[in-house]
Amino acid sequence: MANKLMILDVDTGVDDAQAIMVALADPNVKILGITCCHGNTSLENVLKNTLRVLKVCNRLDIPVYRGCATPLMNHKINAGDYHGKDGLGEVPDPDAPGLELLQKRKAAKALVKMVKENAGEVTLVATAPLTNLAVAVQLDPNLPKKLKALYIMGGNTESRGNTTVCGEFNFVADPEAAYIVLDRYTCPTYIAPWEFTCRNSLPWSFCDMLLAHDTEKARFMKKISCFSRKKAQSADYQKEVTEGKGFNSCDTYAMAAAIDDTFITESDEVAVSVELQGTYTRGMMVLDYMDLLKKKHKATVMKKVDLEKFKQMFVNSLK
């Protein structure tokens, strides 16, 4: 099978780390570069965390780019209460790679360049707030036409928030960027929303089995995920999730769908947008089932996936 060319846009917390490792483990995936964005933690931490993941996978050859440190207009937020203040479970590595390994080119410009050089072949997987993507399309309005596909972890379908009353973290972290991306990226677009990931969570027993593997990667993942696992299993967090109170690696659903076209087993095709104004609904994803927005471009919103394939991807990623 021909290589799938990918660019990953991340805000590396624990689930981004898992998603990156799943992509690295697939022999049919070639990662052209990783662009980093504010989000789960500060941009500086995201950069360090991304390099840590690449180091444990012996893939420091993959270019990493510094992206946006702040949202376009929004107040900056983070997910330190879930991922830890540093984004990777507050278990620092004294031997972590230094930021001198970063590429000199900034993320948005790098994104435009990589896509232009591989027009029609690149799949972009976005698991962070969409700030870098919004800036990139401002630099090159024709960028979406050159993409093969875009996969997003973000948004929600039933106004069940995990950050605000009605909003999912990635979209709430930069609503204007999410609005721009859903409006201007007219390439085939696939979205893994918050409630969907909750309903398709994996059993904690699988997580235990996965992290019991005697490999460097498994030990790394066990160490960095301890903080977020305690949070996920807490009584307060259990009230937040919709259904399926198990191991929910949100970002990895978008990655798995990008890797395997048959991963999605049920979805909706619908035009989507983002609410920018509401007192309680700012950052909420809007699904236009009545076609009132008259948008020609429709996104594929994931509803169900092949969880057995998902499990195998996780197992492969920690070998």
Quote the CA–CA distance of 171 and 175 in Å, as a whole number: 5
Give the residue among 276, 9, 20 at the shortest CA–CA distance from 129: 9
Give the residue among 145, 219, 243, 156 at the shortest CA–CA distance from 186: 145
Question: What pLDDT is recorded for position 246?
Answer: 82
CB atoms within 10 A of CB 178: 34
Spans of all domains in the chain: 4-317
Tell me if residue 66 falls in helix, strand or coil.
strand
- How far are the Cα atoms of 84, 100, 114, 224, 319 from residue 92, in angstroms, in the given order? 11, 18, 32, 9, 22
Q: Are strands 264-274 and 299-305 parallel, antiparallel or unpaired?
A: antiparallel
CB atoms within 10 A of CB 62: 18
Alpha carbons within 13 angstroms on the beta-carbon side of residue 160 total: 14
DSSP state of 21: H
Dihedral over Cα of 73, 77, 83, 89: its sign: positive
Going along the chain, which residue ranges are E strands? Answer: 4-10, 29-36, 64-66, 122-126, 147-153, 189-192, 264-274, 285-288, 299-305
The answer to whether the predicted template modeling score (pTM) of the entire model surpasses 0.85 is yes
Q: Edge-to-edge strand order for the sheet containing 285-288?
A: 64-66, 29-36, 4-10, 122-126, 147-153, 189-192, 299-305, 264-274, 285-288
Each of the 319 residues of the chain gets a pLDDT tens digit; together they read 558 999 999 999 999 999 999 999 999 999 999 999 999 999 999 999 999 999 999 999 999 999 999 999 999 999 998 899 999 999 999 999 999 999 999 999 999 999 999 999 999 999 999 999 999 999 999 999 999 999 999 999 998 889 999 999 999 999 999 999 999 999 999 999 999 999 999 999 999 999 999 999 999 999 999 999 888 887 666 555 555 568 899 999 999 999 999 999 999 999 999 999 999 999 999 999 999 999 999 999 999 999 999 999 999 999 9
**Spatial contact of 174 and 166, defined as CB atoms under 8 Å apart:** no
Quote the CA–CA distance of 217 and 317 in Å, as a whole number: 8
Yes or no: domain 4-317 corresponds to CATH 3.90.245.10: yes
CB atoms within 10 A of CB 310: 21
Give the residue among 135, 172, 130 at the shortest CA–CA distance from 151: 130
Question: What pLDDT is recorded for position 206?
Answer: 95
**Spatial contact of 63 and 18, defined as CB atoms under 8 Å apart:** no
